[in-house]
Amino acid sequence: MGENGVVRRLDLLAASCLVLVALPCSSQGNGGSQEPAPGQIAENVTCRGDAGQRYAVFLPSGYSHDRAWPILYAFDAGAKGLLPVQRFQDAAERYGYIVAGSNNSRNGPVALADDALRAMMADTASRFAIDPRRIYLAGFSGGARAAVRAAIALGDHAAGVIGAAAGFPIGVDPTSSMSFAYYGTTGTDDFSYPEMTTLDETLGRLGLPHRLEIFDGGHDWPPADVCVRAIEWMEAEAMRSRRRVRDEAIVDRIAARAASEARAEEEAGRVYHAWSRYSTLAATLAGFREVAPYEQKARQLAASREVQGALREQADSIRRQQAGHARLMRLALEVLADEDRPVATARFFQAFDTLRLQSDRPGNDAVRMAARRVIVSSWSALNETVTADMEAGRFARAAAMLELMGRMRPDSAGVDYRLARAFARAGNRNAAIQALRNAVTKGVGDAAAIEAEADFEPLRGEEGFRELLRSLKK
């Protein structure tokens, strides 16, 4: 989508969402089987204004309609709204947040997330007492970009964004006029690691409230303890920006827990993590408590050999990742362009196998981290290429990329199923039926879905296809 298209989408989203946040907060329950209970997760609430939209929601155990509550709207990359609700449940219970995760929004067209947000906002406004100036948004992967887009559209109503494993939408850059706080997270093995570290530096140059937390893991939602720290930081920022009244008990709780974590990391000899904790603690409590001791400890640790070495290794891993990804993608394109495809394919897998060996190295050095990220980033890039090729009618090209993906993950039934669709549309019926058989062997078993798949239309008259369906139906 071009820049003008992005602006138009933001304008449309803003117009509809601002109407919703202008509605008065609900002051009484609405009854019915869909009404979630305080202290519990409701996994699949149907939006009353749009029965096609559903979400998971958690209400803190102390929830009542007597006052307005902050709310966190979450967007998962795979429409699994329950997952972020579970990750943020502990933090929401501690600090009194409503958490709603869309069961519709997923990676794909921006309209999926926009429609989900409008439906969730309308439904939650009719059910719960929500503070219109304390609307938070969280997202993973493409959902993180959707969360930022929604925050921009909501303007001053958006208090903060928790972005996991992806930054701002393509075509949208941070500006100093943005009013929401940003808490980014990424895993050590996350292929979005370079993007998230670069975004953190950009937000710092713009003087915007921001934090970045790096956890041990991959391309995923952050673990529950990171979610707690993210909400604590948002609480401090809300007090700092006067979106909520200053609460000394909450400040004390944040200070005690964060200081304890920092000391534990230091005592365990995890110097880099201790430095990160003390730095975050000083930034979070600035203006609320005396932070000079924490700042001094952070400076002391920053000068250590351990922290300096870790920072150099992180920079090295980013350079290796970028170079490795570019090389693997170039080799993938050569598979399409080279007249001798078997030779080009062999070159691709020689490079891929080297990465796989590097990813299994002991420890967590730059070579291992870069290799793990490249393996995931290359898979994601090939997946996006296949989707674009199928939509554009380039079926033979899509099939070639899917064959690479099938060798990268030989146990993936989903790749074989997509490969069958691509072969069928490309006119290679025998290969399509064989790929479909492979998919069934690996677990695909929904005969009705296969029968209804439009891409299999060229296979309807093939006995092998009909035999496969008969076998599944039995």
Q: In a structure prediction context, what are the per-residue pLDDT tens digits for the chain, which is 474 residues long? A: 444 444 444 455 555 555 555 555 544 444 433 568 999 999 999 999 899 999 999 999 999 999 999 999 999 999 999 999 999 999 999 999 999 999 999 987 888 888 999 999 999 999 999 999 999 999 999 999 999 999 999 999 999 999 999 999 988 999 999 999 999 999 999 999 999 999 999 999 999 999 999 999 999 999 999 999 999 999 999 999 999 999 999 999 999 999 999 999 999 999 999 999 999 899 889 999 999 999 999 999 999 999 999 999 999 999 999 999 999 999 999 998 867 889 999 999 999 999 999 999 887 789 999 999 999 999 999 998 999 999 999 999 999 999 999 999 999 999 999 999 999 999 999 999 999 999 999 999 899 999 999 999 999 999 999 999 999 987
**Domain assignment of residue 300, yes or no:** no
Q: What is the domain range of residue 233?
A: 3-245
Q: For residues 385 and 443, what is the distance between their CA atoms, to the nearest angstrom?
A: 25
Are residues 203 and 330 located together in one domain of the fold?
A: no
- Structural domain ending residue among the three candidates 199, 217, 245: 245
Q: For residues 94 and 145, what is the distance between their CA atoms, to the nearest angstrom?
A: 27
331, amino acid identity? L
**Nearest partner of 446 among 430, 468, 426, judged by Cα:** 468
Are residues 214 and 315 located together in one domain of the fold?
A: no
Are residues 316 and 226 located together in one domain of the fold?
A: no
In 3-state terms, what secondary structure has residue 442?
A: coil
If one counts the domains in the chain, the total is 2
Checking 449-453 for CB contacts under 8 A at 24+ apart, the result is 453/421
Residues with Cβ within 8 Å of 460's Cβ and at least 6 positions away in sequence, in order, are 466
Are residues 122 and 231 located together in one domain of the fold?
A: yes
**Domain assignment of residue 274, yes or no:** no
Are residues 237 and 350 located together in one domain of the fold?
A: no
- Structural domain ending residue among the three candidates 205, 227, 245: 245
**Domain assignment of residue 357, yes or no:** yes
Are residues 193 and 77 located together in one domain of the fold?
A: yes
C-alpha 325 chain-centroid distance: 20
- Structural domain ending residue among the three candidates 218, 245, 272: 245
Asked if 85 and 57 count as a contact pair (C-beta separation under 8 A), the reply is: yes
Are residues 314 and 458 located together in one domain of the fold?
A: yes
In angstroms, the Cα distances linking 108 to 35, 387, 412 are 30, 10, 21
Asked if 351 and 331 count as a contact pair (C-beta separation under 8 A), the reply is: yes
- Structure tokens belonging to residue 242: 């006067």
CATH number at residue 446: 1.25.40
